[in-house]
Amino acid sequence: MITNERQFQISKAQIAKFRAAIDAPDSNTRTLHPQAQKALREAAQSQLDDLLVEVADCERLRDGQLTAITVESIADLAPALIKARIMRNCTRKELADKLALAEQQVQRYEATQYKGVSVERLQAVADALKLRLREVITFELL
């Protein structure tokens, strides 16, 4: 997931590079076996598709059209908090300021997907982002 402007710009630059590599393959690839050339082209296209999806997801989060995130498990809560920050157009620095933390601490939280962070801290992050969590817990049949 793209989580900040720098990553967004790097991903867009990578898209341009992959597109260029697909449109105008390196001349030395012409000496390769046709199947190798095909593999190179399709591998590059596959990686390009990944990047396009990531950039599109980020743009969708930023454009403010989404109003809710559905999580299916507690493990999904961390990526949801990261997405919510992006949806709020809130930088890591701004979130850190609201939590009276150093920016690096928020960077660590997100880099580790909030690993080992207390429930109270997660709630504080949700509050800082003005999120309302509405939990629905359903019971599976035993």
Partner 1 sequence: MKGPAFDVIDEVLLTFDAGRGTQKVKYRGELFPAAAAADPPGTLFRDFFQRDRDGNSKGISVIDLENFA
Instruction: List residues binding partner 1 (CB under 8 A).
Output: 2-4, 6-7, 10-11, 14, 17-18, 20-21, 24-26, 28-29, 31-33, 35-36, 38-40, 42-47, 49-50
| Closer residue to partner 1, CB minimum distance, 47 or 91 | 47
| Closer residue to partner 1, CB minimum distance, 39 or 74 | 39
Which residue, 89, 3, 15, 86, is CA-closest to 50? 15
CA distances from 34 to 15, 41, 73, 105 (A): 25, 11, 46, 50
Minimum CB distance to partner 1, residue 138 (Å): 29
Minimum CB distance to partner 1, residue 32 (Å): 5
| Closer residue to partner 1, CB minimum distance, 13 or 74 | 13
Q: Give CA–CA dist 4/8, Å, rounded.
A: 6
Q: What is the residue whose two structure tokens read 């359903």?
A: 138
Q: HSE (CB half, 13 Å, CA atoms) of 60? A: 12
Q: Give CA–CA dist 4/123, Å, rounded.
A: 22
Minimum CB distance to partner 1, residue 45 (Å): 7
| Closer residue to partner 1, CB minimum distance, 48 or 84 | 48
Residues contacting residue 75 through CB under 8 Å, at least 6 positions apart: none
Minimum CB distance to partner 1, residue 30 (Å): 11
